[in-house]
């Protein structure tokens, strides 16, 4: 009898654990595909505009369209899924996170970089039973320097437009490979 109870106990623990593991993996996959969709779309639109119209018009394009593109892509996600970009050195005033846990996460990631650690590709945080936040760090690539780089690297005309539209811009003086912020996927199951 005792042995049966023990066996059932172990079996159900294993079952619960494996369900839990599958769920976490599922959350990661769902977040990854949503984040990649937004990231690819934004990068693609910026690249297209750069090629056709150059840096200054593209800076204006980002000012005009980053929000609406983000909204449009969010509308294609399954129910309960949303993605945004956050940064402690933000350009758009809404780019600075309002949630305490998001600020804490960005600070933690910054600290890890200062300590010379390599950041994980994605970080899953369980907020409550059915609520997750998945972070994907964003780094500065060569193309980003045009609008986010230091005075030697950024485009003067593009930055003129940016300064006009975002007088409190903090998103400059980045170097290649710098930590810029993160995509956050909010997932409610």
Q: Which residues bind ligand HEC (CB under 6 A)?
A: 43, 46, 55, 58-59, 62-63, 66-67, 85, 87, 90-92, 95, 138, 140-141, 143-144, 146-148, 158, 162, 171, 180-181
Q: What does the CA dihedral 63, 104, 109, 68 come to, rounded to 10 degrees?
A: -20
Q: Which is nearer to ligand HEC, 92 or 112 (CB)?
A: 92
Closest CA to 179 of 94, 115, 99: 115
Closest CB 179 distance from ligand HEC, rounded Å? 10
Please give the residue whose beta carbon sits closest to ligand HEC in the complex: 95
Closest CB 154 distance from ligand HEC, rounded Å? 9
Q: Which is nearer to ligand HEC, 58 or 83 (CB)?
A: 58
Q: Which is nearer to ligand HEC, 81 or 88 (CB)?
A: 88
* Inter-residue contact 137 to 37 (CB < 8 Å): no
* Inter-residue contact 138 to 85 (CB < 8 Å): yes
Q: How far apart are CA 37 and CA 154, in angstroms?
A: 27
């Amino acid at each position: 009898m005792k042995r049966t109870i023990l066996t059932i106990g172990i079996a159900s623990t294993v079952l619960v654990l494996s369900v839990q593991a599958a769920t976490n993996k599922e959350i990661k996959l769902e977040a990854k595909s949503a984040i990649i969709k937004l990231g690819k779309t934004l990068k693609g639109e910026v690249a297209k505009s750069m090629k056709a119209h150059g840096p200054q018009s593209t800076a204006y394009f980002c000012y005009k369209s980053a929000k609406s593109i983000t909204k449009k892509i969010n509308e294609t996600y399954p129910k309960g899924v949303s993605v945004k970009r956050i940064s402690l050195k933000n350009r758009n005033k809404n780019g600075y996170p309002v949630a305490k846990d998001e600020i804490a996460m960005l600070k933690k990631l910054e600290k890890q970089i200062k300590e010379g650690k390599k950041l994980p590709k994605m970080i899953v945080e369980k907020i409550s039973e059915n609520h997750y936040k998945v972070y994907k760090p964003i780094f500065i690539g060569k193309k980003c320097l045009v609008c986010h780089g230091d005075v030697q690297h950024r485009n003067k005309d593009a930055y003129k437009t940016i300064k006009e539209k975002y007088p409190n811009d903090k998103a400059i003086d980045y170097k290649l490979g710098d930590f810029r912020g993160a995509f956050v996927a909010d997932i409610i199951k």
